[in-house]
Amino acid sequence: MNKLELEGTAHLLDELDKKLMVLLRDGRTLIGYLRSVDQFANLVLHRTIERIHVGKEYGDIPRGVFIVRGENVVLLGEIDEQKEAGLPLTEVSVDDILDAQRKEQEGKQEQQKLLSNALKERGVHMLHDLTHDDMF
Amino acid sequence: MANTFFGFDTLNDHEITYIGGEDVVDGRDGEESEYDALNDETFGGLGDSAVVDDWEQQHEQFAEIAENNKHIDHLENCISQLVCDDSDESISSDGDIFNSNNLLLSLKQSLSKELNLYDNNGPKNEKSVWKHEQSGPPPAQPGTNSQVPSKICTVEELERGLMQQKPMQFPPKYSGPMWPVQPPVQPPQHYPPGLYPIGKQLPPGFGLMIRPNMPPQPANIPPGFRMPMPAQNMMLRSNYLGQYLTHAPPPGKMMLYNMNYPSGMPRNNNNIQPPPPMLRHQQPSSPHLQQQQHQRLQHLHTTLSRSFDNILNDNSTMQKFIEMSRIPVKDEYDGLMTNREKQWLLNIQQIQLNTGTPYFDDYYYTVFKERKAKNNKDNHRNADRRFQRHNHRNNQQDRQDNALTSRVYTPLQFENSLGKLQCGSVTAPRKIIDMDVVTLEKDSESTPTRDTRKTKQLLLELEGLYNMLLKAEDLLNPVAIYNTDKLVQQKQKQRLRELDTASTPEQKQEILKLLQEESTSNPEKPSDYISKIMTAFLQDDKVASYLNIRKGKMLLLRVLPQILSDNRSRTELELWTKILTSLPIVGRRDTAGDNILPSFHPYFKRYIQACQIADILELVSGLVEVVRQENSRSTPLSHQAKSPLYFITANKFGVSALVTMFIRAEYLIYANEVSDKQKTEWINFVVNWADLIVSGRGNIARPIELIPRKAYERHTTRITTLTDEKKMLLEKHYVELV
């Protein structure tokens, strides 16, 4: 960090003890204080909450301490506390947001079904949700 | 509730309880009559007379010792008088418990009494020795005087004293070997090394209550972040204090820090972390530096107090200050990662960076660094500031432009992806995008796809040529040479290691063979690669297609410097002929877009100036042919019945090429190196050229350099068939205005 040539670079060590939002590969969004990192960019998050967004609403599930394997992190960013206070989104309870999420998922699946049916009629075979493992 | 806890009876309130929960009070009453207070348990076995005699002997011994120690006791009494009392009498008005007059006087008294036992001089000596003591508090010497009293007070007394002091005295003065600078202002409090008020939570309004004569240490932070260093050292000693120490001072510092750097809060937050690593690189300060620091401290001291007053007066900034001082409340979990761990991580990452061959492992960054260094060197050499500013401004603009152009995010889309891509969701975290090959019928292949396919094919070929070019360039690049040597060395070392660890003799043979092969590698020449490139470039009619693409032009531009102008090889002649004949197709596109062709001119000039008339004539002969209709289907209408010369004159590069040839031809004729036949040929060409201009259909481009007037005059007088009109036009467009 003292090297001049490293100026303009970012380092996870600069983010320690900050409130960060971490986006994981499976789509989850975690918000917590970064306490420790290692050479694989594994993260230790403290006072973590999992935030689920559905439309203009969101819900927080308190999770405690998280250890995230580095390869599963898509990106992370600092949270500005002041901006947090003035979010245009409304917070709802955990049950409500999970409900909303489920409904959203169902809606998407139905759409996909319709789409794949239509494509099948036109002779195009599309696998969507299934992985290779699911097939066998 | 529970009847017992850990075996204790919880139900009844007893003063005394026995394990077992029995009610002993009552029991005791009952047993009193049977209880003998003077039993063996109290006094030991009475049957042992030696024990009884022993205590008398011991008592005698103690009495002897006591008399001997009487003298020592007296001393102890004197010393104990010096202990800090809770009473206010020993504490001076400004709260300085160590420098109070009473303390020093008592110290003086007791020590002088002792001295009197050994010294006959008596009161006189007393005066001379302690004279300067009586004048007042000792002069400020770096730490020594304050050390003396501190040793005498016991630790407990000191703690008591500390607790009594206002808790707002913050930050404390680290009087001790760690702190080299002794500020001229005597702070009201001395903290002996090793102790620190364990205050995790500072009162919320703390920032506003910094006293005017605050210790200048915090002001040191801008210069050097020294404060946390002693804190760190202490941290190593006092374990559990460690976490609090690293963060207890900084917020206080930040208070003052804010005033110097009124940037946003996150900035300050950042600064907590970098200082500790930075500290490792602090050099021990010399006396000169100390002096400087003194001055700096004083200056900062005054400015800080002034700015503080200003802030207090202004309401709006006051609010901001309050907001800024609401620092992220000290988190107990802050600093879980110690500096040692951070440094360990950084070291690992630096090790990963330290390959012997950065040119191969980290090409883009290495090249970027090199270019930047070169740029800086050039900029330094260029005393012209305007140039630097211009460059700098350009860079800034580029950055700004990049930031401003908002891009609509479209997720990546792939066609027939070979590698499987991951697209996870909450329900299926390891989902893979499975691409099915969608085969369209061949008839429906539209022309756009054919064109794109062609372009892609060309690009692919160019890629291959580029690879060869890069290899050729690397053979001449010193950085690359150095890195390749290193790589070879590393490989050899590895082979040797393998040789050592190889078990079977056959394996050893293999490794030995490899080693020999690698060490006797044939040195490659860049010309080998260049000739390969040229062969590929000149096949069929590829030149036109390559030059139609920007990448092709750039490739040529990079290859040209490496072509050795060897007049015996026909490669360059062929190349230039093909380029010029391709101008009808390529020229318009280039003028409209990239404008790279004019940069070929210097190379063309270099070539022509080594040329003979025969070559020029060969070049020129191809340009006059008119494209007939039967030639090819692909010639667009606009190109038919026109000679390439027509398009060449319309293109800047083309016309510059013509001019260059003109100049060279004139020179050669003048030097009598031209046969008559050749001369006629050349003159025919010039006439053709003039005719074309006269007909005036196409746009006439301006050449990069013009024909010198003298040469023009000479040449045109040779040409008898040129009418005046044509002469005029030629002159107008191509001749210098001398």
- Tens of pLDDT, residue by residue over A16-46, are 999 999 999 999 999 999 999 999 999 999 9
Number of neighbouring beta carbons within 10 Å of residue A65 = 13
Q: Say whether both A33 and A71 belong to one domain.
A: yes
pLDDT computed for residue B565 by the predictor = 62
Least confident of A105-119, B132-146, B471-485, B688-702: B132-146
- Tens of pLDDT, residue by residue over B273-303, are 444 444 444 444 455 555 555 665 566 556 6
Least confident of B12-16, B233-237, B480-484: B233-237
User: What is the C-alpha separation between B406 and B559, in angstroms, rounded?
Assistant: 38
**Who wins on pLDDT, B545 or B224?**
B545
Does B615 score more than 60 pLDDT? yes
Does B547 score more than 60 pLDDT? yes
Closest residue in A to B368 (Cα) is A5
Residue of B278, B333, B354, B421 to mutate, testing the A interface (most A Cβ within 10 Å of its Cβ): B333
**pTM of the complete model:** 0.49
Per-residue pLDDT band at A114 (split at 50, 70, 90): very high
A35 contacts in chain B (CB < 8 Å): 333, 336-337
Q: Give the β-pairing of A90-91 and A57-68.
A: parallel
Per-residue pLDDT band at B189 (split at 50, 70, 90): very low
Closest residue in A to B339 (Cα) is A13
Which CATH number do you get for residue A13? 2.30.30.100
Sheet with A73-78, side-by-side order of all strands? A73-78, A19-24, A29-37, A43-54, A57-68, A90-91
Q: Say whether both A45 and A59 belong to one domain.
A: yes
User: Looking at CA atoms only, how far is residue B346 from chain A in angstroms?
Assistant: 8
Q: Say whether both A80 and A109 belong to one domain.
A: no
Q: Say whether both A27 and A65 belong to one domain.
A: yes
Q: Say whether both A129 and A67 belong to one domain.
A: no
Q: Say whether both A86 and A134 belong to one domain.
A: no
- Tens of pLDDT, residue by residue over B644-662, are 788 888 888 888 888 888 8
Q: By C-alpha distance, which of B653, B656, B700, B458 is closest to B557?
A: B653
User: Looking at CA atoms only, how far is residue A111 from chain B in angstroms?
Assistant: 16
Q: Which two tokens stand for residue B582?
A: 């391709």
Q: Say whether both A80 and A115 belong to one domain.
A: no
**Who wins on pLDDT, B61 or B423?**
B61
B227 burial (CB, 10 Å; 0-12 / 13-18 / 19+) is buried
Per-residue pLDDT band at B183 (split at 50, 70, 90): very low
Partners of A58 in beta bridges: A53, A91
Does B733 score more than 80 pLDDT? no
Does A97 score more than 90 pLDDT? yes
Which whole-number Å values give the CA distances from B357 to A126, B48, B312, B366, B617, in the listed order? 47, 89, 59, 10, 51
pLDDT computed for residue B507 by the predictor = 80
Q: Say whether both A15 and A30 belong to one domain.
A: yes
Please answer whether residues B647 and B698 qualify as being in contact, where contact means their C-beta atoms are separated by less than 8 angstroms.
yes
Question: Total domain count for chain A?
Answer: 2
ipTM of the complex: 0.82
pLDDT computed for residue A59 by the predictor = 94
Domain that residue A125 falls in: 93-136
Per-residue pLDDT band at B467 (split at 50, 70, 90): very high
Alpha-helix residue ranges (DSSP H) falling in B412-504: 447-476, 478-501
User: What is the C-alpha separation between B666 and B443, in angstroms, rounded?
Assistant: 58
Question: What's the angle, vertex CA B216, arms to CA B214 and CA B218, rounded to 5?
Answer: 100
Q: Is the CB of B426 less than 8 angstroms away from the CB of A126?
A: no
Q: Say whether both A84 and A20 belong to one domain.
A: yes
Q: Say whether both A64 and A108 belong to one domain.
A: no
Sign of CA dihedral A103, A105, A107, A110: negative
Query: Of the spans A64-73, B359-368, B585-594, which averages the highest pLDDT?
Result: A64-73
Q: Say whether both A65 and A106 belong to one domain.
A: no
Does B215 score more than 70 pLDDT? no
For residue A103, the number of C-alpha atoms closer than 13 Å in the C-beta half-sphere is: 9
| For helices B676-695 and B613-621, angle between their N-to-C axes, nearest 10 degrees | 40
Q: Say whether both A69 and A132 belong to one domain.
A: no
Nearest-by-Cβ selection for B424 from A26, A37, A127 = A26
Nearest-by-Cβ selection for A26 from B346, B349, B426 = B426
User: Looking at CA atoms only, how far is residue A47 from chain B in angstroms?
Assistant: 10
Average pLDDT, chain B: 67
Residue of B271, B327, B337, B440 to mutate, testing the A interface (most A Cβ within 10 Å of its Cβ): B337
